[in-house]
Amino acid sequence: MAVDVSVQLTYVATWREISDGLKMQMRHSPVGRWCHRILWGLCAILGVATAANVMTKGVDAAGVGVWKILLIAYLSLVAFRWLMALALLGYARHLGEHRVTVDDSGIRTATERHANDTAWRFYGRYVEGRRVFVLLTPDVWGTGVMVLPKRGLDAPQDSEPLRELLARHLAAA
């Protein structure tokens, strides 16, 4: 007979944890990987075109507009996830302290303004990072994301029962 294991997490979300969760979402969803490659490809093409232009015609040939476009393309790669994490942080802070219970029946989240029960079948896979566990929905967009910060555990050794629960109910990404 299996022992019913329950893991508790209590935390106030931070920007870093949300940003890590979004990075993992992008890396582990097909559409996220596709979009990321296209953006890097565009930056590479713009960079090569600018470098070729500068090498053949001199620095003055690449006008301010070209440098602005190159800079905007590069910064959009870096800043987009940061800005998205900042927006989600505002929402998470509005909810207040999160109290999450993970057990064989699913995931229960309670905050100062919201309570939610989620069955395991809602999520299809999970990813473990250095600071967080990230639960992802099985769709190609990976739109449903739950970030569970490891610092929310009562003790560091509680990460092993949580890892076992996630592995029992979800596929590792």
Q: Residues 123-165: pLDDT tens digits?
A: 989 999 999 999 999 887 777 889 999 999 998 888 999 999 9
The reported pLDDT for the residue numbered 3 is 61
Query: Averaged over 100-110, what is the pLDDT?
Result: 95
d(CA 161, CA 1): 17
Is the distance from CB of 53 to CB of 160 less than 8 angstroms?
no
Is the distance from CB of 85 to CB of 22 less than 8 angstroms?
yes
* pTM higher than 0.85: no
Query: Averaged over 27-53, what is the pLDDT?
Result: 79
| Among 167, 172, 161, CA closest to 4 | 161
Instruction: Name residue, tokens 């106030």.
Output: 12
The reported pLDDT for the residue numbered 156 is 85
How many Cα atoms within 13 Å fall on the side-chain side of residue 38? 7
CA angle in degrees (0–180, nearest 5) for 35-41-43 = 105
Other Cβ atoms within 10 Å of 85 Cβ, number: 21
In the chain, the N- to C-terminal Cα span, in Å, equals 28
d(CA 127, CA 109): 19
